[in-house]
Amino acid sequence: MFGTFTEIERKVLNDERLTREDGIKLFSCNDLSWLGAMADYVRKKKCGDIVYYNVNCHVNLTNICTSLCKFCAFGREESTKGSYAMNVEQVISVVEDAMKDPNMSGLHVVSGLHPQWSFEHYLNFIDILHKKFPSLYIKGFTGVEITHFAKISGKSVKNILIELKNVGLQAIAGGGAEILSDRVRNLLCPKKATADEWLEVARIAHSIGLKTNASMLYGHIETLEERVNHLIKLRDLQDITGGFQTFICFPFLPKNTALEKDIKQTSMWDDLRTIAISRLMLDNFKNIKAYWVMLTVPVAQVALNFGANDIDGTIHKENILHEAGATSPKSLKEDEIIKIIRDIGRIPAACDCNFNILRIIDKV
């Protein structure tokens, strides 16, 4: 019935690896429910019915950024209206506010590349947060920030990562991968880490026992082949290190970005097939995240049947994507997340930034 899709189906059912050509072929498939069913089959086999979530708080230290990527609505120059840079007291007050939730378990720290801040300045935030809130895990910084820290400090990526780990950083965030194609990066984000530099940070982090996440920003100027190549680059590195924990699909949100006029937001059809294909191609990743902020809550829930087993967290207050017109709420309550997962017959499990289960929410 599906021509070569039959062959792909056979491979999936037999746990065989899909090739780059298979991946490209899958992007030509219009049968969304078949793609979903394949991805759901793999998800169930690999992860069972547990869906991971975090009770977490996002901390964005500054939106002042030297990179000024064309797809970003958050970063800006210091002189631009709305720019901010938090001091230690402000950060502590954000976290203290989040700690009012007795289940608060961790922080996600991602920020702009501030032109005047040194590596030590960023490091100091982590040091202080860890000392002040020892019960919270800290996941922070993307491969782009780590590369930036190495450049401004003259230190090696490895030493940067070791210093961060020593002050309490427990995992690296998955952002900044965008599309791992230099053609695309030169057009959209020429000032920041290249594809190789991003992958190198992940490789070195894994080598010193620091787990990282991975991501893909799609739906802008990349080709479908470039999406598949991106997934294969991640899969190749994962074969060597095994240090990626979860993969996050980021559909590009064009509002308030330099690309707003030329690019329309992806359809949810595209979002769901991209998640499903990611699950099928990334056969060595255990977790696939449906990031509700970008997908919206209803689609993130549907995505849990298209290969995802992770729905991210409560977030406390999302800033970056709401600058780009995200229509989802800025935070979710834990009860809401639990209901989203339970309503489709799955089992919610609160976890830390390394997917250690903190609490399984059993059936009432």
Chain residues binding other proteins by CB under 8 A are 30-34, 36-37, 40, 267-270, 272, 298-299, 301-302, 305, 340, 343-345
The residues, ordered by sequence, that sit 6+ positions from 17 with a Cβ below 8 Å of its Cβ are 11, 283
CB of 359 to other proteins, least distance (A): 23
**CA pair distance 272, 228, nearest whole angstrom:** 15
Instruction: Output 4 or 118, the one with its CB closest to other proteins.
Output: 4
| Cα 219 from Cα 42, distance rounded (Å) | 25
**From the CB of 39, what's the least distance to other proteins, in Å?**
9
Residue 94 phi/psi, 5° resolution?
-60, -45
Rank residues 190 and 298 by Cβ distance to other proteins and give the closer one.
298
Q: How far is CA 258 from CA 144, 220, 262, in A?
A: 20, 11, 9
In Å, what is the CA distance from 116 to each residue of 64, 77, 112, 169, 171? 10, 12, 11, 22, 25
Nearer to other proteins, 287 or 301 (CB): 301
Which of 109/280 has CB closer to other proteins?
A: 280
Please state the closest distance from residue 235 (CB atom) to other proteins, in A. Answer: 24
Least separation in angstroms between residue 42's CB and other proteins is 12
Which class for 24: exposed (0-12), middle (13-18), buried (19 or more C-beta within 10 A)?
middle
Q: How far is the CB of 271 from other proteins (least distance, A)?
A: 9
End-to-end Cα, the chain, rounded Å: 43
Q: What is the 3-state secondary structure (H, E, C) of 15-53?
A: CCCCCHHHHHHHCCCCCHHHHHHHHHHHHHHHHCCEEEE
Q: Cβ 272 to other proteins, closest distance in Å?
A: 7
Rounded to an integer, what distance in angstroms lies between the CA atom of residue 156 and that of residue 34? 46
CB of 327 to other proteins, least distance (A): 9
Compare residues 50 and 232 and give the one whose CB is closer to other proteins.
Answer: 50
